[in-house]
Amino acid sequence: MLVGAPPEYESEDEDWRLDSAVMLSEVFPEKDEIIYNYDFGDDWYHYIKLIEIQSDYDNNYPICLSAVGDAPPEDVGGIHGYAEFLRILNDPTDPEYEDTKMWAKGMRYRPLDIAEINRRLRHCSR
């Protein structure tokens, strides 16, 4: 498992490494699927599957071919907090709508954008 920060409590049966200390080439193709836990408090697990390694690829960075769903904002409160967040944002008549909308803007909440993801992957791989 790749992690963004060391877990507060470690389990002997867990094998984890800090994401900042790992090159994808060290992980793939040794494994074809990995789990990335972004936040141990909220437990955002990302399941990443290697589809293919292209030997004639002319760039030296990974690319994202597909993704599902928007990334939740920081500190939204895990799955249940995110569900509540989405419920409020989808109901402009909710009393918490304006505050939640402003909070989301401050947390840089934005829709899924694969082009932006790929720009960031390219930049981080330099």
CA torsion sign for 46, 83, 43, 8 is positive
Q: How far apart are CA 100 and CA 9, in angstroms?
A: 32
Amino acid identity of residue 58, one-letter, is D
Residue 23: pLDDT above 70? yes
> What pLDDT is recorded for position 9?
67
Mean pLDDT, all residues of the chain:
83
User: If pLDDT is split at 50, 70 and 90, which confidence band does 40 have?
Assistant: low
Query: What is the residue extent of each domain of the chain?
Result: 1-53, 71-110
| pLDDT, tens digit (0-9, with 9 covering 90-100), for 60-102 | 777 888 888 888 888 888 889 999 999 999 999 999 999 999 9
> What pLDDT is recorded for position 95?
98
pLDDT > 90 in the chain, percent: 25
